[in-house]
Structures are given as structure tokens and as C-alpha cells.
Amino acid sequence: MELVITEEQEALVEAVRQWLDATSDLEGARSANPGQSRIRREGLAAASAMGLLSLLRAGEGGTHADLTLVVEEVGRAATPLPIGQSALVCRVLDDVGIAADTAAGVAEGKIVAVPAQPEPGAERVAAVEQADGTLSLSGRVPLVVGGLAAELFLVPAVAADGSHFVALVPATADGLSRTVRTALDLTRDFASVTLDGVRVPSGSWARTAEGTVEALADALALHHAADAVGAADRLLEMTVQYVRERRQFGRAVGSFQAVKHHCATMALDVECARITVRAASQVLDSADRAARRAQVSSAASFAGEACSRVAGTALQLHGGMGFTWEHDLHLLLRRVKTGELLGGSPRHHRARLLDLVA
């Protein structure tokens, strides 16, 4: 397995980082109204112009490994833009063969669409096929990242007989309601989505294999881990710069051996987390279900805890400065800590790994 990124991928990362550095506004996260989304159309339009939202579509030549690199940069910039989620929505719609026009609109940044995927272990949305060709959906997805701004939700559902479906549901559909969720993370918006007998017309839903739904859940889990890696990498950079500049007892605090050891441990955690996530991203492009499940759970369990340790150490090494509202550190820490629990907690993924190898 090749873990060194190619020159083309390096160019992709550089372009995305330059764009996000120039357009991301962490200050807005401090002043944003909790009931108002920070996702902006112009941001999605720019992502579309760079080909990021259509990266996984047929003919584009992109891979999950490419998208994971992009999501790392999304986490590093702490942007609310649902770039990875939108790309996954396009991929699933193409794979199941529904809503081709909508998929094109999402890829062009004209429509905000995100997956409404219940967390592992949560009750799944129930589906009932109706005689008129519609699909009735009932259930609740407690936490949807980007759900406040979404115009469409990609909802996986299961029937009483075990059949699996994916449905594209407008946020304005009769019977659908969403509620703003207050989370530790201030850089993204969150909502819960409740479906009470929502009727999805023919052409907007499809019966699919269980593997399609599981692959979507795995991809989302890995993207949350990649997002955390990007944020942790930025925290490491901020911390190294701070301990070089902060002076105490007539010398930079970074010259003290104990501080050096902490920074070295942070760097080790970031690099190990990055390697596990990148390895798992390559398996997402394969048809090996067992390898995908094992690699994703390995990456999610390790990266979640490793990035959380990095965030905690960054806070400690910043001292009193790290506790101030005006400093960016707490925004990234909040994002990492929240991401640790999205797509399944490290404990969930370790239990899944145990089941796979037992």
C-alpha cells in the first residue's frame, strides 16, 4: 500500500489550503448566531469550480484517497463547508441511479445536500413502500452535520423485512422537521432531523444493498477522522510557534526538555493518525468489504483519540493564553473533541474491530 501522496495530490492539497486560508473566517465562529448556518453559497461555488464536490463522480478521476486529503484541509481551516459530505452524496446518487439532475446541482454547488446518517448503534429510519410508488419514511436522526443549511437530505432507511433504501428528501417535505442542535463545536452547524411519515416520490429513492449503506457510513466515519487530523495538525503548528516565541526565565519555553517532549509526542500522534486515515482511504476505493471495515475502524479509533490528545496538550502548552475566547485554539479543540464522537466513538470502533477478528 502506497502511503506517500503523488505530485498531483500534493498540488491538490496546496491549492485547497491556499483557497481555504484566504477565505476561512474563524472569527465568524465566535460571533455566529447558534440558529444560523455559516455555510455560504459562494464557498460551495468555489469548491465546485475546483472540482471538489464532483471528485468522486464517474469521469472525474478522483478517489476516496484524494477526497480524504481535501477533508484534512477542511478540518485544518475549520470551515463549515460540507465538501466531503456533498461529494459523498453525489457518489451515492450516481451509484444507485436516482436524481441525476440533483446530483449535478450538488456538484455545481447550487444545492446543499448532506447525508442524514444515524450514528452507529442508533435506531435506523424505517421505510415502507407504498402502493402509489412512494416510500414512506419515519424516524429521527439526532445529529446531522451541516443539517441546518441543507436543502436536501440523503437518508438511508431499512424496511421491516430487512430491505435497505436510500432516499433523497427535501428539507421542506411534509412531515420533516429539523431542530437546531447546540454542540461543543462552534465552527460547524448541527441539526436533528425527524421524519414523520414523509412520502418520497418515485425517482427520489432506490432499493439498494446493505453494503451501499454501510460503505456510506464508513466513508463518513473516515472523513470525520480526516477532519480531526487536519485540525490537530494546525494545533501542532500553532503550539510549536507559540513555545518558540513565549519566553520564561530568560529563554523560550520551547527550549525546556519537558516542553520538547510534549511537542514531539504531539507530532507523533498527528503523523500516526494521518497514516492510518490515509491507509483506510485507499481501501474505500476497493471492493473488499472486510478490509474496508477493519481499516476504517482502525483509523477512526486511533485517530479520534490521538487527535484529542494533541488538542489537550496544545491547550496545556499554551498556558493561560489557550483558555482565552479570543484565541483560535479553543475553536479547533472543540472541533476535534466533537469529531471524536461522530461516525462512531473510538470505543465503538474498537468493539467493531474485535468482532471482525474474533
Cα→Cα distances 116→60, 89, 312, 316, 322, Å: 25, 10, 30, 36, 34
Residues 6+ apart with CB under 8 A from 244: 252, 254
Q: Tell me the CATH number for domain 114-209.
A: 2.40.110.10
| Cα(89)–Cα(44) distance, integer angstroms | 14
Mean pLDDT of 72-92: 97
Residue 254 has a pLDDT of 74
pLDDT tens for 257-293 read 898 999 999 999 999 999 999 999 999 988 788 999 9
| Cα(79)–Cα(19) distance, integer angstroms | 11
* Residues listed for the chain: 358
Whether the model pTM is above 0.85:
yes
Class level of CATH domain 7-111: mainly alpha
Mean pLDDT of 166-195: 96
Query: What is the CA angle 140-338-147, rounded to 5?
Result: 40
Joined grid coordinates for residue 206: 432506490
Residue 5 has a pLDDT of 87
Mean pLDDT of 76-82: 96
- For domain 211-357, which CATH number applies: 1.20.1290.10, 1.20.1250.20, 1.20.140.10, 1.10.540.10? 1.20.140.10
Residue 197 has a pLDDT of 96
Task: Work out the pLDDT band at 219, boundaries 50, 70, 90.
Answer: very high
Same fold for the pair 7-111 and 211-357 = no
Domain residue spans of the chain: 7-111, 114-209, 211-357
CA 97 to chain centre: 24
The pLDDT > 70 percentage for the chain reads: 99
Lowest mean pLDDT among 1-5, 58-62, 206-210, 232-236: 1-5
Q: Are 77 and 25 in contact (CB under 8 A)?
A: no
